């Protein structure tokens, strides 16, 4: 058991500066950047800088400072991109994990999507 972090995943390369990104926000422990294949007019990925594979991994092992920074960073992205219902039209957050979640990149990322009506939460099957 245990979470195995792959240092060669694409977001690790972005964090090391080996691959460019379109940064929306950078904080001490988090980075937010635009998805390379946007599914909506606003599609931002928010990642912790630490080596966490999934949300549950992060929740179990991150420090209080990392957790606080990350939650605040996600909220700040909603404000920066003007999708917050506080002045905007709303958004959806998605965090895919593992095989059934169809997670492609094994570094925790929350998708923040908005700018259009996003439809049902899940396809019917």
Residues annotated as catalytic (active site), given as ranges: 109
Chain centre distance of CA 89: 20
Residue 55 CB, shortest distance to ligand DGP, in Å, is 11
Show the binding pattern over residues 21-60: x = contacts ligand DGP (CB under 6 A), - = does not.
x-----------xxxxx-------x---------------
Alpha helices in the chain (DSSP H): 10-15, 55-61, 64-80
**Closest of 89, 50, 29, 54 to residue 113, by C-alpha:** 89
* Residue 94 beta carbon to ligand DGP: minimum distance, rounded to whole angstroms: 7
| Interface with ligand DGP, residue 10, by CB under 6 A | yes
């Amino acid at each position: 058991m245990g979470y195995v972090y792959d240092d060669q995943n694409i977001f690790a390369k972005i964090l090391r500066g080996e691959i460019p990104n379109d940064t929306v926000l950078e904080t001490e422990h988090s980075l937010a950047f635009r998805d390379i294949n946007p599914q909506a007019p606003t599609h931002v990925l928010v990642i912790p800088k630490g080596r966490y594979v999934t949300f549950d991994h992060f929740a179990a092992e991150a420090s209080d400072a990392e957790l606080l920074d990350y939650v605040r960073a996600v909220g700040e992205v909603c404000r920066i991109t003007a999708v917050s219902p506080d002045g905007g039209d709303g958004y959806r957050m998605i965090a895919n994990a593992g095989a059934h979640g169809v997670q492609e990149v094994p570094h925790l990322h929350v998708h923040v999507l908005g700018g259009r009506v996003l439809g049902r939460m899940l396809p019917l099957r």
